[in-house]
């Protein structure tokens, strides 16, 4: 049973979207995978995802409202098998807190490039992020199910 952690900056836009998409896909496929999200920063700890992301996700049948932002921590490298950073900056920040002997694999979520942060953009940015994450999640799940 793989365990997956998705990490962005504040844990209110990209990583909760990945969390919701992964949970939905896991349910559709009848998988019992442990899925969570976190941020490298602590600004939004305890808060729900960004309203714009929750609305965009809801339009696709996903309810992100139960999710609460939390900050990634060194113990996550022992609690999860795979940790996926939404961009290069978050990947570098995660490398800084990665403890010696960590068991989790750490990589960018997209095979090439960053998932753009829609926080300062318009509503189209949230749709674009959901499209990117959805497409990549299918490929990721297929690969992990084969392992």
Cα–Cα dist 106/23, whole Å: 20
Q: Which residues are catalytic?
A: 8, 14, 117
- DSSP β-ladder status, 82-85 and 3-8: parallel
Q: Among 56, 13, 60, 20, which residue's Cα sits nearest to residue 36?
A: 20
Cα–Cα dist 44/90, whole Å: 16
């Amino acid at each position: 049973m793989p365990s997956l952690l998705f990490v962005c900056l504040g844990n209110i836009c990209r990583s909760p979207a990945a969390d919701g998409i992964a949970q939905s896909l896991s349910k559709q496929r009848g998988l019992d995978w442990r899925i969570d999200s976190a941020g490298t920063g602590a600004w939004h700890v305890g808060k729900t995802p960004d309203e714009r992301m929750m609305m965009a996700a809801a339009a696709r049948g996903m309810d992100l409202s139960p999710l609460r932002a939390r900050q990634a921590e060194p113990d996550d490298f022992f609690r999860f098998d795979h940790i996926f950073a939404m961009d290069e900056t978050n990947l570098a920040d995660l490398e800084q807190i990665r403890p010696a002997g960590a068991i989790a694999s750490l990589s960018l979520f997209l095979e090439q490039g960053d998932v753009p942060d829609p926080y300062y953009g318009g509503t189209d940015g949230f749709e674009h992020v959901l499209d990117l994450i959805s497409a990549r999640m299918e490929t990721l799940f297929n690969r992990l199910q084969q392992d």
